[in-house]
């Protein structure tokens, strides 16, 4: 695997290292030792799928509070997404900053999302599926969200969403997180 650290410390774009021949290619998409060599200790305890029939579907921006903070390894398995993360670590020099990466089924590219980051995406094609490996089990009482279009964060989405759940529409702004997260 090819790890590229992003400007948000601890977040990585991960490309598969393809071994190709006339049959196609073979590549690793997970290796505990390779992740550990980059300081990522993420034993997946849950795997999630998201199926999205319509282009323009926005999901996010989601995170879980400690002690149920989740690290995620996100991959698009059909179609394409614009995947976005926001650093919510108050002690981080990149606190409140965001990063967006296009993930497609054809590229096999993945995004590693550290704990204490909000995560979301918008589908760029109809019939888009996303797979997540997650380091913590879903804990409903610790689930939180950040408003996808909060001007204080300023995420530059590549398209206007056409479908957002009512729950995701109601997430608080960044300035309200301190009061909303406990």
Contact 6, 110 (CB under 8 A): no
Q: Is 180 a catalytic residue?
A: no
Catalytic residue among 62, 82, 119, 171: 62
Nearest CA-CA partner of 115 in 71, 170, 169 = 71
SS3 163: strand
Q: Would you tell me how many other CB atoms lie within 10 Å of the CB of residue 54?
A: 12
Reduced to 3 states (helix: H, G, I; strand: E, B; else coil), residue 182 is coil
Q: Which of 63, 82, 132, 171 is catalytic?
A: 132
Q: Is 62 one of the catalytic residues? A: yes
DSSP states of 91-120 as a string? TSTTTT-EEEEEEETTT--EEEE-TTEEEE
The catalytic site residues sit at: 62, 132
């Amino acid at each position: 695997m090819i790890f590229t650290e992003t400007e948000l410390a601890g977040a990585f774009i991960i490309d598969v290292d393809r071994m190709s021949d006339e049959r196609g290619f073979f590549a690793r998409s997970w290796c505990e030792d390779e992740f550990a060599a980059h300081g990522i200790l993420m034993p997946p305890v849950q795997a999630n799928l998201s199926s999205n029939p319509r282009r323009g579907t926005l999901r996010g921006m989601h995170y879980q509070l400690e002690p149920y903070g989740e690290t995620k390894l996100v991959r698009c398995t059909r179609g394409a997404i614009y995947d976005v993360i926001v650093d919510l670590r108050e002690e981080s020099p990149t606190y409140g900053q965001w990063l967006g990466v296009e993930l497609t089924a054809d590229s096999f590219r993945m995004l590693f999302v550290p704990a204490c980051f909000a995560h979301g995406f918008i589908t760029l094609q109809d019939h888009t599926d996303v797979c997540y490996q997650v380091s913590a089990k879903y804990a409903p009482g610790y689930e939180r969200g950040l408003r996808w279009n909060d001007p204080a964060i300023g995420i530059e989405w590549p398209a206007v969403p056409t479908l957002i759940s009512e729950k995701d529409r109601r997430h608080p702004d960044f300035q309200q997180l301190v009061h909303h997260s406990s």
